[in-house]
Chains A and B, each alone.
Chain A
């Protein structure tokens, strides 16, 4: 019987698949979640990647003109905050804790939400709002920041993620 020679497959050279684009979906309106989204979007642009942001549900507060610079962090039901739950529920506690956090962030050169978004847009980032959530909260285009590209459907949102090397991040 004739021996068949098996050719060894050449080992594939590990190819680096770099992240080229991020689509960051922010569905939350708390200070820390919105900042997480903003830092990641801005950080992507700083690295030379593309960045798109899609705000939905409570995340819409981050792109509402009159709300975006007054976001709060939760002082109740937030085990990471060193305030007893009973105290955290007192009137004004949430505003106080949020103001303290904003002050600390300013020291680190982290801008207010509105300025952060201006930086992201200046770096080529794009900001979108969810149509379904905007309808649900009865928000009109003029309630939202001027820099907003558009209010779009979920299908349009997925279209933003087209191309190799895109990562979708949900917050």
Chain B
């Protein structure tokens, strides 16, 4: 299994860089991962990450539409917060697997 080392943390990841164990995640790690991707996490980013983790750990499917209906961000804001494929980018920073979603 591959590992990735950010500033202070070393985590197990798959070949696309997604954490293989969501319990290795921490908020500090999220900040480090986001910085590496050129994103400075704000409170809104963190609220989205928490939402994603909650839903993932509750085994509920993740879609862009669900995030738009979360009450945390609109879909437009979501794209703005995590540029370059928001669901993929945010899931990676949230330490959960890449969502297998087509919508």
* A→B interface (CB under 8 Å): 39, 42-43, 45-48, 108-111, 115, 118-119, 122-124
Contacts and interface: CB of A to CB of B under 8 A. Distances in A.
**Top-10 shortest CB links A-B:** A48-B85, A122-B75, A48-B84, A122-B76, A109-B63, A123-B79, A47-B85, A119-B75, A109-B65, A110-B103
Contacts of A124: 79
A48 B68 contact: no
B53 interface: no
B87 A46 contact: yes
Contacts of A123: 64, 75-76, 79, 86
Contacts of B68: 119, 122
Contacts of B79: 45, 122-124
Contacts of B64: 42, 46, 119, 123
Contacts of B87: 46
Contacts of B85: 46-48
Main secondary structure of the interface of B (DSSP, over half): helix
Given A108-B103, A111-B103, 6 more contacts: A46-B88, A48-B84, A119-B75, A122-B79, A123-B76, A123-B86
A169 to B, nearest CB: 15
Nearest to A115: B65
Interface in B46-98: 61, 63-66, 68, 74-76, 79, 83-89
A58 to B, nearest CB: 24
B8 interface: no
A115 B68 CA distance: 11
A48 to B, nearest CB: 4
Nearest to A121: B76
Nearest to B61: A109
Given A46-B86, A47-B88, A48-B83, A109 B74 contact: no
B66 A109 contact: yes
B72 to A, nearest CB: 14
Contacts of A108: 103
B102 interface: yes
